Amino acid sequence: MLGQIILAMAIITPTDQTVQVAKGTKLDVNNFAGDVSIKVWDKDAVRVEATHSDREIIDIKPGDQVLTIRSRSVRGGPPRSLDYTISVPKWMAISVSGTYADVSMDGVGGDVTVETTRGDIKVSGGSGFVSLKSVQGEITLDKAKGRVEVRALNEGIHLADINADLSAESTNGSIILDRIDSGNVDLYTVNGNISYDGPIRDKGLYRLTTHNGLIAMPIPEKVNATLMVRTYNGGFRSTFALGGDAAEKRNKRFTMTLGNGSAHVELESFGGTISLRRPGEPRPETERRRGRERDNHARFSFPVDVGVGADIDSAVHEAMIEAQPEIDRAVDEAMREAQPDIDRAVDAAMAAMDAMPALHVVPVPMPHGFPRPAPRPR
């Protein structure tokens, strides 16, 4: 056993290399699988730390204004999983790509490009041009400025504290935005909600579109915007009174001018609700989640005195034993009341399926309410 341990220790090869870089140099990292964690330090140098076996070699190659980091197998064969910790100067532009790579960056200050197939992306910082893309992974970005493009396929997107021209798109995921300060916003998702939080700038352009989901946006009381709302199989609601004919056109399409109408706000949902609120009011799409968290906290919270931590488990256990009969009775009563309706619904559904003719699927084009406005001049 001791010999095996010594052999295992012998084949572990740590990499810890620091390379001096000149301002303007870009970092280019490719990692097939594993974590890529990038942090900032106050040196004009790049430090690469990784632990791997002696079957892999990490190549760190300075080039013409590009520092590349790659791994390769000494004996050939498929790529292996590697975890990198990389320290970079704040000004450095960064590009990271991978297949099964999770990427995180903290405090970066230059251009950022990340592309991964199956991995989460979490970035704090970035300026100039920030592009984040993942097929099967959640994307989180905060404190970025300049121009931001985010694309996700099967997960959600969360953006916060962004001061940039912004474009975000997801196929099967929601797009949640907090504290956005932008005059050019384009958000699109097929199956997911879009929740926006931020001011509406004069002469700004805001386009929020979802095929099957909710759109929620704050509208200040004093705002200069032309508001276009399009719903087809969805609904419309507002926490404040709408002027003109808008109040009579719920669940339909309408356009209204607020102030001098200089900003352009387009909200379109084919099969979901469009919800307007005043800034600072509760956000329905997030309050439901917070409500569930509060309910869970209240359900499993019990008053205890300081110094009785050892008795918490027993207190919880006793409380659950006392509550269980009431829970069982409530469940049984609800099921008895609902069972006739369930049976009728099942019978009706089965009868409808038996009488249903063979389906012939015909593609139907997505309706287009109005043309996309020209981008705001920069």
In the block, residue with structure tokens 């009488």: 355
Q: How many other CB atoms sit within 10 Å of the CB of residue 337?
A: 9
Rounded CA Rg of the chain: 27
How much is the pTM? 0.73
Strands 225-231, 254-258: pairing kind: antiparallel
Inter-residue contact 184 to 200 (CB < 8 Å): no
How does DSSP classify residue 110?
Answer: S
Give the whole-angstrom CA distance, residue 278 versus residue 156: 25
Q: Which residues of 342-368 are buried (b: 16+ CB within 10 A; e: fewer)?
A: eeeeeeeeeeeeeeeeeeeeeeeeeee
pLDDT band per the 50, 70, 90 thresholds, residue 305: very low
Which residues, 6 or more positions from 79, have their beta carbon under 8 angstroms from its beta carbon?
32, 33, 71, 73
Average pLDDT, the chain: 81
245-252, Cβ contacts within 8 angstroms, sequence gap of 24 or more:
none
Q: Residue 217: name the closest of 199, 238, 196 by CA.
A: 196
User: What is the Cβ-side half-sphere exposure of residue 160, based on CA atoms within 13 angstroms?
Assistant: 8
Which run of H or E residues covers position 294?
Answer: helix 284-299
Q: What percent of the chain is helix, strand and coil (3-state, nearest 5)?
A: 20, 45, 35
Which run of H or E residues covers position 251?
Answer: none
Give the whole-angstrom CA distance, residue 132 versus residue 144: 12
Span 113-131, average pLDDT: 97
Which run of H or E residues covers position 165?
Answer: strand 157-170
Flag whether pLDDT at 51 surpasses 90: no
How does DSSP classify residue 290?
Answer: H
Flag whether pLDDT at 297 surpasses 90: no
pLDDT in tens, 152-210: 999 999 999 999 999 999 999 999 999 999 999 999 999 999 999 999 999 999 999 99
Inter-residue contact 279 to 198 (CB < 8 Å): no
In terms of Cβ atoms closer than 10 Å to its own Cβ (0-12, 13-18, 19+), residue 146 is middle
Flag whether pLDDT at 115 surpasses 60: yes
Structure tokens at 324: 């269980």
